[in-house]
Amino acid sequence: MSGLESLYQELILDHAKNRRGFGLAEPGAHSATIHQRNPICGDEITLRVDVEGDRVASVTWEGAGCSISQSSASMLVALLQEDGGDDGMPTADVEALIAQFREALRSRGKIPLDEETFADAAALSGVSKYTARVKCAMLAWVALEEGLRQA
């Protein structure tokens, strides 16, 4: 295993153990709660998104499953918190991130996730080579996408 792969594996395990945004916050005035399940492996995510105006104010979640699904949810929340700051990230930017993440994960390794854009979530680039694991990594992102439509 290369040094970079080892680092990525450590990031995935860290996020799986120290889950950012874990625990559902109380619903806000404009929130949506979405439950997603991966029938292939049994991963489950319940995600709550709170939208204020045109910004994603907060994302919290609960779930159980493999380290990829759990770390992906944690990485998603960390990314939104870092890039959105106290005001939250514009919903259009969040939707664009989800689309880019989906494209990279469906590329079978041809499109790597940019570290500048995706921060720790770039560690999930290697998942795209394993089609059975793509759904694990996409679970929280799909839940957020659905939540944005409903909020």
Give pLDDT tens digits for 111-122: 999 999 999 999
Number of domains in the chain: 1
pTM for the predicted model, two decimal places: 0.94
Tell me the pLDDT band of 31, cut-offs 50, 70 and 90: very high
Burial (CB count within 10 angstroms: exposed 0-12, middle 13-18, buried 19+), residue 85: exposed
Sequence-ordered list of residues with C-beta below 8 angstroms from that of 74, at least 6 positions apart, any chain? 15, 16, 18, 19, 20, 21, 22
Write out the residue range of the structural domain in which residue 126 sits: 3-149
Average pLDDT for 86-100: 94
Q: Residue 37 maps to which CATH number?
A: 3.90.1010.10
